[in-house]
Amino acid sequence: MKILGVDSTATAASVAVYEDGKIRSLIYSNTGLTHSQTLMPMVEAALKSAGVDIKDINLFAVSNGPGSFTGVRIGVSAVKGLAQPLNKNCVAVSTLEVIAKPLENTGCYAVAVMDARCNQVYTAQFDCDSGFKRVTEDEAITIDELTEKLLTVSKPIVLIGDGAHVTYNKMIEKIPFVKKAVASVCYQSAADVALIAAEKVEAGINSEQTANDILPNYLRLSQAERELKKKNNN
């Protein structure tokens, strides 16, 4: 099976081509240009590098959030636009699951954290003691709330994601054994989007979704929507 994986949920973006258990190509960009400018050329480059035609892709996979509202929309829209004309199935993958995936089988308790600003993070917890098991659902909470939830965890806790540094600095006093993942694995990759999608298909999870079924998962309202709601309530 050939899978095209896409991630544009944060500042950087990436595109990967997966086939039969291995990543054939991975294109990564953190140039500061908008994803609307870079994502489709990256898709073309990933396909060319893998020697695969877009028509040969069996499944399209995308990280559908949480993350940057604009980035999530661009990634989801791109995958829907690619899959729909070809009548190919799609798989949506949580960005937080993608972030934590590199810690699989490392014996730790992985906590994916994306900086949501204003002392908040998008977060989810995964048991990586032997495998990769989701423990909590994706949520948007304060760092203080996350710290309280982790006080009862007895396994080695590893923070991973672009919010790891700020979370670590605020958490270390209450949880002295918490650690940060190394920088080289701390950011989401389309390679893990594709790998997780392949595992979901093999397990029969969300393997029959069409392009119309793929939707963004923002977890919370945008700042503009929050301000409007606050204004209306007043």
Q: pLDDT averaged over the chain?
A: 93
pLDDT at 74: 97
pLDDT at 31: 86
60's CB contacts (< 8 A; 6+ apart) are 3, 4, 6, 79, 82, 83, 88, 89, 90, 91, 211
Q: How confident is the model at residue 224 (pLDDT cuts 50, 70, 90)?
A: very low
pLDDT at 221: 60
pLDDT at 233: 59
**Which token pair is 63?**
């990280």
Question: Strand, helix or coil at 52?
Answer: coil
Which tens digit of pLDDT belongs to each residue from 207-222?
778 999 999 999 976 4
pLDDT at 81 over 70: yes
2-95+188-229: in CATH 3.30.420.40: yes
199's CB contacts (< 8 A; 6+ apart) are none
Per the confidence metrics, is the pTM higher than 0.75? yes
Alpha carbons 143 and 127: distance in angstroms, whole number: 20
pLDDT at 208: 75
pLDDT at 227: 44
CA angle 215, 218, 222 (to 5 degrees): 125
pLDDT at 82 over 90: yes
pLDDT at 228: 42
pLDDT at 94 over 80: yes
90's CB contacts (< 8 A; 6+ apart) are 59, 60, 61, 62, 79, 80, 83, 209, 210, 211, 213, 214
Which tens digit of pLDDT belongs to each residue from 113-155?
999 999 999 999 999 999 999 999 999 999 999 999 999 999 9
Domains 2-95+188-229 and 97-185 share a fold: yes
pLDDT at 200 over 70: yes
CB atoms within 10 A of CB 69: 18
* Residue 78 host element (H or E): helix 69-86
Alpha carbons 9 and 93: distance in angstroms, whole number: 11
By the 10 Å C-beta count (0-12 exposed, 13-18 middle, 19+ buried), 6 is classed as buried
Q: How confident is the model at residue 232 (pLDDT cuts 50, 70, 90)?
A: low
The domain segmentation of the chain, as residue ranges, is: 2-95+188-229, 97-185
pLDDT at 190 over 70: yes
**Which token pair is 163?**
């919010």
pLDDT at 220: 78
pLDDT at 225: 45
Which tens digit of pLDDT belongs to each residue from 11-26?
999 999 999 999 999 9
Q: How confident is the model at residue 198 (pLDDT cuts 50, 70, 90)?
A: very high
Name the CATH topology of 97-185: Nucleotidyltransferase; domain 5 (3.30.420)
